[in-house]
Amino acid sequence: MKKNSMSTVVRILIAVCGIALFAVNFLPIWRIDLDAPQYPEGLRMLIYANKLGGDVEIINGLNHYIGMKTLHAKDFIEFSVLIYIISAYALLFLLVAIIGNRKLLYTLLVLFAIFGILAMVDFWRWEYDYGHNLDPNAAIIVPGMAYQPPLIGFKQLLNFGAFSIPAIGGWIFIAVGIITLTTVILEARKAAKIKTTGKGITAVALLLFSTLFFTACTVQPKPIKLSIDQCDNCKMSISDPKFPVELITQKGKIFIFDDIYCVLEYLKENEEIKKNTKDIYLSDYLGAHDFINAETAHLYRSEEIHSPMGGNIAAFVSEENRNNTAKTFKGEVVSWKNLLQN
């Protein structure tokens, strides 16, 4: 029995995975975001283990016009059993951690992988039925058009862009799978009498760090496609890399602008977007024009800095860079806080 015993580190990791799976029962597992011009902040549907959340009623109202079914938790048998299945797996992880048998760990990985595959197949099957089984008497019928959301990633559906990705509960599932696979590899190497003590623990630590980072990561600014991307305020093509601005909302939607002036005007006209803004990034006037968080950027305004829409404000990553530019262009130092208030 002793030669098949798991290491203490592995047992702790498996126990943590079990506790994390219990938490999934209370967190959204998947999310589908819908984006359209008439909904600038977008709509979001959240899928939990036992219910639907987010803007479900609004989405149901819109889908009615194109013949899609309305969504109600009571119509899905998965919502009545999934919470028990997840809890059973959580208990199984804890049991394996307590017993500490290596062969049970291998079995656990296989069972968890099967569950993950079956869950994704069932999700795809639901999406297919949801997007293809349409009411022939719907108000809007587009011949040959289906509205199946993407399993993962982006898909354009008429004037709506649909974006499907794991929510926090889904990322926990992925992290649990990666950690379990890693522990199996470490235990298999140990069983094969390969020296792994130092490297193995280091690998687990790095894996945990990267997993937590991946889970907690936030939406970052996207690279600007010059002469292709258009400003969301003035609708002009963005052509000068020194002045672009990106606004990221709480839901992760990105708005782009060709000038600080444009983002300020957009926020004045769109109070809802302003309330739900998470971060604003400004292009560095110098160097590779990397994005800088507006809260930490050093700003300088000068009539000699000719920005696309006349804002004539440049952003710098450091005070030194700003001061050096001030020696060339006559102007004034401004703050992001004051610009927002004006």
For 110-120, the pLDDT digits (tens) are 999 999 999 99
Kindly give the residue spans of alpha helices, DSSP state H, lying in 133-193: 168-191
Give the mean model confidence (pLDDT) for residues 170-184.
Answer: 93
Q: Which pLDDT belongs to residue 196? A: 47
Higher pLDDT, 48 or 209: 48
* Whether residue 3 has pLDDT greater than 80: no
Residue 45: how many other CB atoms lie within 10 Å: 22
- Which stretch of DSSP H or E encloses residue 282? strand 277-283
* Of 218, 159, 339, 176, residue with least CA distance to 267: 339
**Phi (first) and psi of residue 163, to 5 degrees:** -125, 120
- Which stretch of DSSP H or E encloses residue 314? strand 313-316
Give the mean model confidence (pLDDT) for residues 298-311.
Answer: 93
Domain residue ranges of the chain, discontinuous segments joined by +: 2-216, 245-341
What is the three-class DSSP state of 197? helix
Q: How far apart are CA 302 and CA 304, in angstroms?
A: 5
Q: Give the start-end residues of each E strand in 16-171.
A: 30-36, 39-47, 52-54, 153-157, 160-166
* Whether residue 33 has pLDDT greater than 80: yes
Burial (Cβ within 10 Å: 0-12, 13-18, ≥19) of residue 255: buried
Instruction: Report the percentage of the chain scoring pLDDT > 90.
Output: 52
Q: How far apart are CA 55 and CA 34, in angstroms?
A: 10
Q: Are strands 277-283 and 245-249 parallel, antiparallel or unpaired?
A: antiparallel
* Of 328, 268, 338, 266, residue with least CA distance to 297: 338
Would you place residue 211 in the very low, low, confident or very high pLDDT band (cuts 50, 70, 90)? low
For 118-174, the pLDDT digits (tens) are 999 999 998 888 888 888 888 888 787 888 888 888 777 877 778 888 999 999 999
- Which stretch of DSSP H or E encloses residue 211? helix 197-216
Report the chain's mean pLDDT, rounded to a whole number: 86
Give pairs for 145-151: CB < 8 Å, separation 24+: 147/63, 147/66, 147/68, 149/32, 151/120, 151/123, 151/124, 151/127
For 51-91, the pLDDT digits (tens) are 999 988 888 888 888 888 888 888 888 889 999 999 999 99
Tokens found for residue 76: 């899905």
Query: For residue 325, what are the contacts with CB-CB under 8 A and spacing of at least 6?
Result: 285, 286, 300, 314, 316
